[in-house]
Every structure is written in structure tokens, then in C-alpha cells.
Amino acid sequence: MKHVGWYADLFSSVTGRKTRPEDLISMSEAVYNFQRVFNLKMGFGTREHDTLPYRAVGPVTAEEYESRKERYDGQLKDKYGFDITCMDTQEKLSALRKKREDQYEKLKDAVYERRGWTKDGIPTVETVKRLKIDFPDVIAILKSHGVE
């Protein structure tokens, strides 16, 4: 993370405040969490809003599946352990998309836990306190979303 060290040096030079790379990481984490709280205030920022576009999850049409049939069939068999011998293209497409969507939900769970957020993707009170962004308005927004 050499570049973060360079950013810390630049930040220190510009502001006159001695800053380490770890300080920049903490500052960016605070900003990201504050943005999340702001999004909550605006009616967004929960798990339901952390979705991928339908197109990004995988093949959308049977024709698209068929155009890369070997690859997708291989994923279903080798990666996910499906017996696809009796499945038509639409069933395979649905199974592949379901597995990928399930994996994305597991990824969100892991990210939320690591960030110190609830299962719904909302920063916890402990997280905003640790980041020193536990302003009364922030706490009120969290409370209004059931986080105490």
C-alpha cells in the first residue's frame, strides 16, 4: 500500500497535520459510514439498495446461456454440483442465477459484518462511536431505522 503512504505525505504537506496511512484509512471509513447514514436519511442505504443490476448476475436470456453453454454448464456441474442431465436451458439459467444471487447475499453478509453494520446494512451505534461520528442527528437517524 505504498500509494496510501504517498497520500498521507501529501495530506500532511497540504494540511500541516502529521498524518499516517492508517489515519487516512480511518478518515475514509468515517466518510463512507457517514454517507451511508446520509443515504438512510434520504430513504436509501439499506440492504435492498445494495443490489447488482440484473444483467451483472449472469446470463439473462436462454440464447445468451446457449452461446456460452459449455462454460455455464461447467459452472453448474463443477462449481455448484448440479446434475444438469434432465434440465432444459431455462432451468439451468434459473439455477445459475439463483446460485449467483445467493452468493452475492452471502458476500453482503460478510461485508456488513466486517464494516460493523447490521444485517440490513446500517452502521451500528458502536461503529459510529468508534469513528467519532456519533452526532445526535446521526444517532437519531439510526434509531429511526431500529438501530440502538
User: In the chain, which residue ranges form alpha helices assigned H by DSSP?
Assistant: 2-15, 21-41, 54-57, 62-67, 69-74, 89-115, 125-130, 136-144
- pLDDT tens digits for range 124-143: 999 999 999 999 999 999 99
Phi/psi for 57 (5° steps) reads -80, -25
What is the Cα–Cα distance from 52 to 131, expressed in whole angstroms?
28
Q: What percent of the chain has pLDDT over 70?
A: 100
- Residues paired with 28 in a beta bridge: none
What is the Cα–Cα distance from 40 to 49, expressed in whole angstroms?
10
Phi/psi for 117 (5° steps) reads -115, 165
Residue ranges covered by each domain of the chain? 40-144
Name the band, by pLDDT with cuts 50, 70 and 90, for residue 72.
Answer: very high
What is the Cα–Cα distance from 37 to 32, expressed in whole angstroms?
9
| Arithmetic mean of pLDDT, 60-69 | 96
Pull the grid cell for residue 20. Answer: 499516517
Helix crossing, 2-15 with 21-41: angle to 10°?
Answer: 80
- The whole-number pLDDT of residue 49 equals 96
- The whole-number pLDDT of residue 1 equals 72
